[in-house]
A and B are shown apart, each in its own frame.
Chain A
Amino acid sequence: KANQGRLENFFTVL
Chain B
Amino acid sequence: MFEARLPQAAVLKKLVEALKELVTEGNFDVSPSGISLQAMDSSHVCLVTLQLNDDGFEHFRCDRNMSMGIHFGNLSKILKCAGNEDTITLKAEDNADQLTLMFESANQDRISDFDLKLMSIESEHLGIPDQDYSAEVKMPSAEYQRIVRDLTSMGDTVLVSATKEGIKFSTSGDIGTANITLRHNTTPEKEDEQTHIDLKEPVALTFALRYLNNFAKATPLTPQVKLSLTKDLPVVVEYKVGELGQVRFFLAPKIDD
Contact = CB atoms under 8 A, between A and B. Distances in A.
Given A2-B256, A7-B46, A11-B234, 11 more contacts: A2-B254, A4-B254, A6-B45, A10-B234, A10-B252, A11-B47, A11-B127, A11-B129, A13-B124, A14-B125, A14-B126
A7 B44 contact: yes
22 contacts: A2-B257, A3-B255, A3-B257, A4-B43, A4-B45, A4-B252, A4-B254, A5-B252, A5-B253, A6-B43, A6-B44, A6-B252, A7-B40, A7-B44, A7-B45, A7-B47, A7-B250, A9-B255, A12-B126, A13-B125, A14-B124, A14-B126
Contacts of B257: 1-3
Which applies to chain B's interface (DSSP): helix, strand, loop or mixed? loop
Nearest to B38: A14
Interface in B28-87: 40, 43-47
A5 to B, nearest CB: 4
Nearest to A14: B125
Interface in B201-222: 206, 208
A2 B47 contact: no
Q: Which one of B44, B45, B125 has the greatest number of beta carbons of chain A within 10 Å?
A: B44
B208 A4 contact: yes
B175 interface: no
B250 A2 contact: no
A5 B248 CA distance: 18
Q: What class of interface size applies to chain A in its complex with B? A: 10 to 19
Contacts of B127: 11-14
A10 B126 CA distance: 10
A7 B255 contact: no
B232 interface: yes
A7 B255 CA distance: 12
B122 to A, nearest CB: 13
A13 B126 contact: yes
A8 B125 CA distance: 11
Contacts of A3: 254-257
A2 B45 contact: no
Nearest to B128: A11
Given A12-B127, A14-B125, A7 B254 contact: no
B142 interface: no
A11 B47 CA distance: 11
B178 interface: no
Contacts of B43: 4, 6
A9 to B, nearest CB: 7
